[in-house]
Amino acid sequence: MDEPFARKSQPSRGEASDSVTLIDVARVAGVAPMTVSRALHRPELVRSETQKKVLEAVRLTGYVPNMLAGGLASSRSRLVAVLLPTIASSIFADTVQALMDGLTESGYQTLLGLTGYSTAREEELVEAILGRRPDGIVLAGTTHTDATIQRLMRAKIPVVEIWDLTDKPIDMLVGFSHEEVGASVARHLLEKGYRRFGVVSVNDPRGLRRSESFINELARHDVCDVRFEVLPAPATLQGGREGVSRMLVSNSPEVVFCSSDTLAQGVLAEAASRRLSVPHDLAVMGFGDLSTAAHVYPALSTVRVDGASIGKQAAQALLRRLEGQPGEQVASFRIDTGFAIVDRDSA
């Protein structure tokens, strides 16, 4: 099958392969050039057998598809950018997996950028990414610089903000209220009879909002002496241990609410090292319901967020907008995915 291509000189290692064209791939695959283009840019439009032939021909020829050039006629790059604060924690893992799965099935590729919880860094990334003409952008959170918001609105591409809620989204929004998480956890722990509280959080905007809402709700119930330790992001087990250690010097709390399960597991480790009984000497509540939360000892009480649903609905929102008929208007929307308090042994 590759004999027609074999008559053309092969590029050596380190040499540009610009001489390999889409027509060469079509000849090797035994299909029309248009079919090759569809298989690479719109795989859902071709049969799986044809897709395999084209991909094998791409491998044999060393052809590198120019996804941007291929999309110029339709003004599509088939690229979606996803900006997250960090991948040091697995809290976003389910969201990213579901988002990427949904986009990949429809022929879109994803570009991941890390903001480090910095709106200034996010602004730099948005500026760089827009120069690569993405078809859409997904942003974690709703706190951005004015320049970021203006650039995205001028770009006129679909934008989905995730893992948060706001009354003024840039475009589409899929997430939950961090303020309501904090207030609900405070009421839940008060109903259990706790009266001395501590909070350990990293200095990311959403974690701080959960923590501050927790403290404000306690104040509404006349509980005001709350120890609050703030640590540098990202969350680590060491940070959880250090945060609770500072609290235990004096006026030890009965229960500690942590802005993430990672911090909470650090608190459990520190309690164990001090031979404190959990929850009798010190109760612990986390956030995120990571896959490890139910399997640490004692099992961690926490707040469950459906990260996979956030990712799936964000992908669906983008695809509805991107795959709509020319000129079709798809309304922006705001989806509250909610959360659930999970009672286990630690609180």
- Name which of 279, 271, 258, 253 is nearest 344 in CA terms: 279
| CA–CA distance, 127 with 155 (Å, rounded to integer) | 10
Instruction: Judge contact between 333 and 158, C-beta under 8 A.
Output: no
DSSP sequence for 192-216 = TT---EEEEEES-HHHHHHHHHHHH
For domain 178-304, give the CATH number.
3.40.50.2300
How many other C-beta atoms are found inside a 10 Å radius of the C-beta of residue 167? 7
Round the CA-based radius of gyration of the chain to a whole number and report it: 25
CATH topology for 79-176+308-338? Rossmann fold (3.40.50)
- Name which of 278, 271, 263, 264 is nearest 245 in CA terms: 271
Q: Which residues of the chain have pLDDT under 50?
A: 1-18, 71-73, 326-328
Instruction: Judge contact between 114 and 85, C-beta under 8 A.
Output: yes
Q: How far is CA 267 from CA 58, 160, 246, 248, in A?
A: 52, 34, 11, 11
Instruction: Judge contact between 51 and 108, C-beta under 8 A.
Output: no
Q: Which two tokens stand for residue 257?
A: 């609410």
Residues in CB range of 188: below 8 A, 6 or more apart? 341
Alpha helices in 134-236 (DSSP H): 146-155, 178-191, 205-220
Predicted confidence at residue 72, as pLDDT, reads: 47
How many other C-beta atoms are found inside a 10 Å radius of the C-beta of residue 266? 26
Predicted confidence at residue 69, as pLDDT, reads: 53
Strand partners of residue 254? none
Residue type, 278: V
Question: Could you check whether 3-65 and 178-304 share the same CATH topology?
Answer: no
Please measure the distance between the N-terminal and C-terminal CA atoms of the chain and give it in whole angstroms: 66
SS3 106: coil
DSSP sequence for 25-90 = HHHHHTS-HHHHHHHHH-GGGS-HHHHHHHHHHHHHHT----HHHHTTTTT---EEEEEES-SSSG
> What is the phi/psi pair of residue 149, to 5°?
-60, -45
Q: 1.10.150.20, 3.30.390.30, 1.10.260.40, 3.40.1000.10: which CATH number matches 3-65?
A: 1.10.260.40
Residue spans of the domains in the chain: they are 3-65, 79-176+308-338, 178-304
Instruction: Judge contact between 139 and 83, C-beta under 8 A.
Output: yes
DSSP sequence for 258-323 = ESSHHHHHHHHHHHHHTT--TTTT-EEE-SB--TTTTTSSSPPBEEE--HHHHHHHHHHHHHHHHT
Strand partners of residue 113? 83
- Name which of 247, 267, 251, 270 is nearest 259 in CA terms: 267
- Name which of 219, 268, 208, 205 is nearest 240 in CA terms: 268
